[in-house]
Amino acid sequence: MIRFENVYKSYPGGFEAIKNLSFYLPEGQMAFLTGASGAGKSTVLKLIALIERCTRGQIIVNHQNLTRMPERQIPYLRRTLGIVFQNHKLLMDRNVFHNVALPLLIAGFPRSEIGRRVRAALDKVNLLSKEKCNPITLSGGEQQRVGIARAVVTRPSLIIADEPTGNLDPALAQEIMRLFEQFNQVGVGVLIVTHAQSLVDKLGYPVLRLENGSSSSDAMLQADSTVQFSYE
């Protein structure tokens, strides 16, 4: 779950990326976060993963208050999230298996369990046959699926994805979205940042829209469809 309460984020120099943003994403809910470039979409994700800290307000992720979270706790917060990156951030110096195994190594899983879990995750994204390949030999869609396998291998309760279909053609994008829906069906919360409006419309999940005000550069929020998102 994610709860933002009157969150502000301003950068040195006075630029306000997020101004008075409040929303609530319940546990196990799938939703989209959209908005024009520069509206603060990436900033929201950075605040959720504590890559950045908010200037004012309160953020609660998986029942943990991020506002007062000490630096040394951050790794443990991130282990409860599955993060999918736009450019997938795979490591090209190791094969698919070892890329997916990295979060398990980091979390200190025993070796015996690592192999089993990695293969289960690769099976889910239909890449079990490619476990020995180097990611550089895979297609864009396959690379993104490896990235998704890496995000879900620790069985997180929440997946956040930053433009996961940004570099993919519509057919592949739809395939990726279907993967996320499958994870959501077994109770994993999913928040997807995207500007593929057609996909968002077609799938019918709640949408959080960030907008730059026409007269100011304030990031604003509109609750598009459901009660899960509220705007103050």
Partner 1 sequence: MNKIRRPHNNQTSKRVARTHASPWLRNYFSGHAQEALSSLGKLWRAPFATLLTILVIGIALALPTGLGLGLQQTQALSQGWDGNPQISLFLKKTLGTKEIEKIQQRMRAHKAIETVEWIPAEQALQNFKTTSGFGDLLNDLTENPLPDVLILRPKTEQSTPAQLESLVNELAKSPEVDIAQLDFAWVKKLNAIINTMKRAALVVALLLAMAVLLTVGNSIRLEVQNRRDEIEVSKLIGATHAFIRRPFLYTGLWMGLLGGLIALALVLASLLFLQTPVQALAELYQSNFRLEFPGLLESTSLLIASALLGLLGAWLTVGYHLRQIKPQ
What is the binding site for partner 1 (CB under 8 A)? 27-28, 49, 51, 62-64, 72-73, 75-80, 83, 85, 89, 91, 93, 102-103, 106-111, 120, 124, 150, 152, 154-157, 182-183, 185-189
What is the distance between the alpha carbons of residues 222 and 172, in angstroms, rounded to a whole number? 29
Report, in Å, the least distance between residue 64 CB and partner 1.
7
Contact 179, 199 (CB under 8 A): no
What is the distance between the alpha carbons of residues 8 and 59, in angstroms, rounded to a whole number? 10
Which of residues 63 and 202 has its CB atom nearest to partner 1 in the complex? 63
Which of residues 85 and 221 has its CB atom nearest to partner 1 in the complex? 85
DSSP assignment letter at 165: T
How big, in percent rounded to 5, are the helix, strand and coil portions of the chain?
35, 25, 40
Report, in Å, the least distance between residue 171 CB and partner 1.
22
Report, in Å, the least distance between residue 139 CB and partner 1.
21
Which residues face 61 on adjacent strands? 2, 64
What is the distance between the alpha carbons of residues 103 and 164, in angstroms, rounded to a whole number? 19
Which of residues 182 and 216 has its CB atom nearest to partner 1 in the complex? 182
What is the distance between the alpha carbons of residues 122 and 48, in angstroms, rounded to a whole number? 26
Which of residues 36 and 91 has its CB atom nearest to partner 1 in the complex? 91
**Beta-strand pair 219-223/207-212:** antiparallel
Which of residues 111 and 214 has its CB atom nearest to partner 1 in the complex? 111
Report, in Å, the least distance between residue 225 CB and partner 1.
23
Report, in Å, the least distance between residue 198 CB and partner 1.
26
Which residues face 146 on adjacent strands? none
C-alpha torsion sign, points 194, 197, 213, 190: negative
Report, in Å, the least distance between residue 12 CB and partner 1.
14
Which of residues 66 and 200 has its CB atom nearest to partner 1 in the complex? 66
